[in-house]
Amino acid sequence: TVADAGSGSRALATCTVRGSINHDEYFHVAHIVRPGETLSSTFHESRVGGKGANQAVAVALAAGGGESSGSNPAKVKFYGTIGHDGAWIRERMREVGVGVEGILVSETELTGRAIIQVDERGENSIILFPGANYSTLHEDAFRAQSLTTAGTGGYFPHSTHLLLQNEIPLEATLSAIHSAKVSSQPPRQSQLGGQRDTIVIINPSPLPARDTISAFPWEKVDWLIVNEDEARELFEAFGGGVGRGGGDGKVEAARELVHALGGMEAFRNTSVVCTLGAKGVLARQCGVEKGMEIVYVPAAKLRGGVPKDTTGAGDCFAGYFVCELMGMADAHDDSADKEGTDFKLTQMELEKLLKVAVQAAGMCCEKSGTIDSYPTRREVEERMK
């Protein structure tokens, strides 16, 4: 176990992110290219992208990465697949403190890619090439390993939290969830000897088709992170009334929607976090006293007042949110009366955690770029003083 020098508390929580990793290629153009047209771009740039990689980077930064005192060993490990053309992306992730041993290199596929045209007004148009994100190298290795070692180890050894999105094959996501919740590995021991399960957090973006939504094992998901549109789409996919939480720009309408969504049978075991862009975030914790479930935190005040680039704000939020959850799990582990990972947060704890995530996501909107605009932990704390 790793002792957190200074505070004396034991930092045990670790996170696995299983997801997408992309080479984002930006082309600045006078206008978005038209059918049949050939257009020269005025500026070109390659960046790290993919929701999985973005969120892993955000967890790492939230855990102190990107600063000289970055956490060691890594608090977050990323499992994904690149091609031989993606080594530089793995290097960038390593630099901010992401554990990259779980990044496999496909012999036959290229790194997933986003070809992004940005016009003079900031409008964009994107072509996605999934590439190695759709490789089954991880699942194949896992199957081979379970056959030879009678189920020891599991897909993701030694992690208390599992963070997922929806930019890899559904089979890969399901396999990861299955491994976290019902794998044949022995239950993890908490510091105090109790048994604990892996906490599963999913930001199911982009949302799958409705039949996939209704067949998804939501009962194994502890925290669902969605934006307002996704919340409405999920609600309707489960037969909720159309037009609920009517997108009238009011927090009250969104609160009603989150309340209704979280109250559905499918989400009986799932807490729902719904981000509301410039309005902030709502969270509904399942299994807590009636009337105490929902917490609202407004968006952070932006320097300069208006956002510069909100790309990847949702991923920044998700990463910081999960790192804060991990911190709460460690804190609860330290107190003898609150054992294990299935504790409930108090309203105050939930609010405190959301405030950090909202501050980080807000700071990401003040600069252009995706992970390049994610703040370090120190920068977030500085701003919250």
Q: What is the contact surface with ligand ADP in residues (CB under 6 A)?
A: 227, 275-278, 280-281, 299-300, 302, 307, 310, 313-314, 317, 358, 361-362, 365
Q: How far is the CB of 83 from ligand ADP (least distance, A)?
A: 27
User: Is it true that the peptide bond before 35 is cis, omega within 30 degrees of 0?
Assistant: no
User: Is it true that the peptide bond before 307 is cis, omega within 30 degrees of 0?
Assistant: no
Whole-number Cα distances in Å, 222 to 286, 318, 344: 9, 14, 11
79 binds, among Na ion, ligand ADP, none (CB under 5 to 8 A by kind): none
- Which tokens in the block code for residue 256? 């009603």
358 binds, among Na ion, ligand ADP, none (CB under 5 to 8 A by kind): ligand ADP
Nearer to Na ion, 71 or 373 (CB): 373
115 binds, among ligand ADP, Na ion, none (CB under 5 to 8 A by kind): none
The CA-to-CA distance between both ends of the chain, in Å, stands at 31
Q: How far is the CB of 227 from ligand ADP (least distance, A)?
A: 4
31 contact partners, CB below 8 Å, separation of at least 6: 39, 119, 120
| Helix or strand holding residue 330 (H, E) | helix 313-334
Binding flags for Na ion, 29-68, as an x/- string (CB under 5 A): ----------------------------------------
Q: How far is the CB of 363 from ligand ADP (least distance, A)?
A: 9
Nearer to ligand ADP, 227 or 376 (CB): 227
309 binds, among Na ion, ligand ADP, none (CB under 5 to 8 A by kind): Na ion
70 binds, among Na ion, ligand ADP, none (CB under 5 to 8 A by kind): none
Minimal CB distance residue for ligand ADP:
314
| Helix or strand holding residue 144 (H, E) | helix 137-149
Q: Is 307 left (phi over 0), alpha (psi -120 to 50) or beta?
A: beta
Return d(Cα 335, Cα 172) in angstroms, integer: 36
Return d(Cα 82, Cα 78) in angstroms, integer: 12
Number of H helices, E strands in the chain: 10, 15
Return d(Cα 377, Cα 27) in angstroms, integer: 31
Among 16, 203, 373, 376, binds Na ion (CB under 5 A): 373
177 binds, among ligand ADP, Na ion, none (CB under 5 to 8 A by kind): none
Residue 18's φ and ψ, nearest 5 degrees, are: -110, 115
- Which tokens in the block code for residue 130? 């999934």
5 contact partners, CB below 8 Å, separation of at least 6: none
Minimal CB distance residue for Na ion:
373
In SS3 terms, 71-115 reads as: CCCCCEEEEEEECHHHHHHHHHHHHCCCECCCEEECCCCCCEEEE
Q: How far is the CB of 179 from ligand ADP (least distance, A)?
A: 26
Nearer to ligand ADP, 251 or 286 (CB): 251
Nearer to ligand ADP, 66 or 204 (CB): 204
361 binds, among ligand ADP, Na ion, none (CB under 5 to 8 A by kind): ligand ADP
Nearer to ligand ADP, 153 or 277 (CB): 277
Q: How far is the CB of 90 from Na ion (least distance, A)?
A: 22
Q: With 0-12 CB in 10 A as exposed, 13-18 as middle and 19+ as buried, what is 8?
A: exposed
375 binds, among ligand ADP, Na ion, none (CB under 5 to 8 A by kind): none
Nearer to Na ion, 133 or 373 (CB): 373
278 binds, among Na ion, ligand ADP, none (CB under 5 to 8 A by kind): ligand ADP
Q: From 188, 172, 214, 207, select the one nearest 19 (Cα to Cα).
A: 172
Q: How far is the CB of 370 from Na ion (least distance, A)?
A: 6
Which of 1-9, 242-250, 302-310, 331-339 is the region at the interface with Na ion (rule: CB under 5 A)?
302-310
Return d(Cα 262, Cα 246) in angstroms, integer: 17
Q: How far is the CB of 203 from ligand ADP (least distance, A)?
A: 8
Which of 3-11, 27-35, 129-137, 369-377 is the region at the interface with Na ion (rule: CB under 5 A)?
369-377
Instruction: Restricting to residues 309-368, name those near Na ion by CB under 5 A.
Output: 309, 364
User: Residues interacting with Na ion, by CB under 5 A?
Assistant: 309, 364, 373
